[in-house]
Amino acid sequence: VRRVEVAPPVATGQSTEPAVSRSHAPLFVRKTGAGPPVVLVHGGLPARHAWARQQELAARWSLMIPSRRGFSPSPPAPRQDFLVDAEDMAALVAGIPGGAHFVGFSYGGLGMCVAAGLQPSRVRSLTLLEVPLWRAAGADESVRRLAEVADRFAEGNRDARTEREFLAVAGLDRQSLDTRDDDMRQAIELARDFRSPGEASPRFGRIVEAGIPVLVVSGGHAPAIEVVCDAVAARTGAQRICVAGAGHAVQRAPGFNPMLEAFLTAAEHRASH
């Protein structure tokens, strides 16, 4: 395990939002294994919870597992912000010879997808696990409703129904809210304030033009999420898979690791020829 110093922020050049500021303190990145590099980026759950079942992949792959800003032991942050994440991921992959395979889960996949559009030549493949890219399917009524639920929750409008619907999609439950685990309590607080996923507009065109192999995975538990994943797959020419059995946390579902590894192996073979 080591702490990795990332480079200064790079300009995203793709948002009309005010300039994003973040700490220049080192981002914590856990490194294990040997083989081609794979960057695993967590969502609203802490990294050690999100990727616990992927440790077996370290036998054949070099796993790089950053804790996003705000999540200990990385520097604190006032809220979750996928534009800040994008800067961090772009800086991280810039320091990896030959680039890396990107695997992004939930909110963490937003910044990863933006970073892939910024530096497509550094991305060997891109795997997106239930990433809330609402704009890809913004015309769908169920997607618009889910996006509104997420935004209301982040804005503090948490009536019982909104909280129940948001937590269900986010893979959290009442037991999680009452946990004494410091990392989980921190994650719950960060879940209450985040840059809206509705602002995310990755450069899908650059990802396609670069020929990056893309895999989009869902868990079959929420119709609106399936619509979003279908739309993202259509925009990126992705392989599209539904892995049921673990709800939102598809990486915990039976058979997920062999499926992911088969995709990574094919992408690695393609990159080497």
Give per-residue pLDDT as tens, 206-239: 999 999 999 999 999 999 999 999 999 999 999 9
Strand, helix or coil for residue 242 = strand
- pLDDT tens digit string along 152-205? 887 777 677 877 777 776 666 555 555 567 776 777 777 778 999 999 999 999
pLDDT at 1 over 60: no
Integer Cα distance of 243 and 256 in angstroms: 7
Burial class (CB in 10 A: 0-12, 13-18, 19+), 86: buried
- pLDDT tens digit string along 55-90? 999 999 999 999 999 999 999 998 899 999 999 999
> Kindly report the CA angle at 141 between 140 and 143, in degrees rounded to 5?
70
pLDDT at 4 over 60: no
Instruction: Tell me 217's DSSP state.
Output: E
> Is the CB of residue 101 less than 8 Å from the CB of residue 124?
yes
Q: Which of 130, 131, 98, 95 is nearest to 114 (CA)?
A: 131
Say what the pLDDT of residue 176 is. 53
Mean pLDDT of the region 256-262: 98
Burial class (CB in 10 A: 0-12, 13-18, 19+), 31: middle
> Is the CB of residue 127 less than 8 Å from the CB of residue 260?
yes
Q: State the amino acid at position 85 in one-letter form.
A: D
Say what the pLDDT of residue 197 is. 94
pLDDT at 7 over 70: no
Confidence of residue 150 (pLDDT cuts 50, 70, 90): confident
Integer Cα distance of 252 and 219 in angstroms: 10
Residue with tokens 């939930």: 106
- pLDDT tens digit string along 21-31? 455 788 999 99
> Is the CB of residue 218 less than 8 Å from the CB of residue 226?
yes
